[in-house]
Amino acid sequence: MIETRVTQLTSGAHVFHGYALDIAEELLKEIDLVVSVSPLRSVVTPSGKSMSVKMTNCGTRGWVSDRRGYRYEEKDPVTAKKWPVMPPGFVAIAKRSGAVAGYPDYEPNVCLINRYEPGNCMGLHQDKDERDFSQPIVSVSLGLSISFKIGGLSRQGSTTRIDLVHGDVLVFGGPARLAYHGVGKLREGEHPLTGKSRFNLTFRVS
């Protein structure tokens, strides 16, 4: 097993620092492949607000948002085809991260890919559009770092903050599976592998 420093954020939420570093370049190549089939796109929330990050998906379903709501779709609404298959590096990091966090049978079927550019952010929200909350969320950070915060089951409660840097893996499940979380604005910067951007891979069982 890879030696890794772990930070507990809340009960059920842990950062495994640098846990994806050895596979980061492979993941970035695989992101390019996914994006060449199902492109990154801007989406609007049900209230009509544009989200600042651009996103796409791979796996058997994909998370989408539009005026009709948040949901998972079997087909990419942009291409009208199935989402790309989850690449092998994605499967490997997700399984390994689930296992190190205490979920040896973790087998996510979906991965949301978010791309942040300077100024992009994501407000506090819960990931609650999935069918199965018994399984954790594995979130992999690549490229520029960002300030992440996580709280409890209500939007109002206190939050814990941490910088997520290139190669970090965050796993939140159990008591933290429905925790409110979000990220601050991506600061200007230049990363040797991703330039002026940050990617986040969010694996879920849906």
Which spans of this chain sit near Fe ion (rule: CB under 5 A)?
A: 127
Residue 97 interacts with ligand SIN (CB under 6 A)?
A: no
The Cα–Cα gap between 26 and 88 comes to 9
Kindly state the smallest distance separating residue 125's Cβ from Fe ion, in Å: 6
The Cα–Cα gap between 115 and 118 comes to 10
E strand map for 98-136: 110-116, 122-125
Q: Which is nearer to ligand SIN, 81 or 126 (CB)?
A: 126
The residue count for binding ligand SIN (CB under 6 A) is: 9
The Cα–Cα gap between 21 and 131 comes to 30
The alpha helices in the chain, defined as continuous H runs, are: 24-37, 88-100
Q: Quick one: which of 114, 120, 197, 206 contacts ligand SIN (CB under 6 A)?
A: 114
Q: Which is nearer to Fe ion, 37 or 45 (CB)?
A: 45
Q: Find the binding residues for ligand SIN in span 122-151 (CB under 6 A).
A: 122, 139, 148
Q: How many helices (H) and strands (E) are present in the chain, helices listed first?
A: 2, 13
Q: Quick one: which of 202, 203, 205, 206 contacts ligand SIN (CB under 6 A)?
A: 202
The residues of the shown chain that bind ligand SIN, judged by CB under 6 A, are 114, 122, 139, 148, 164, 181, 183, 200, 202
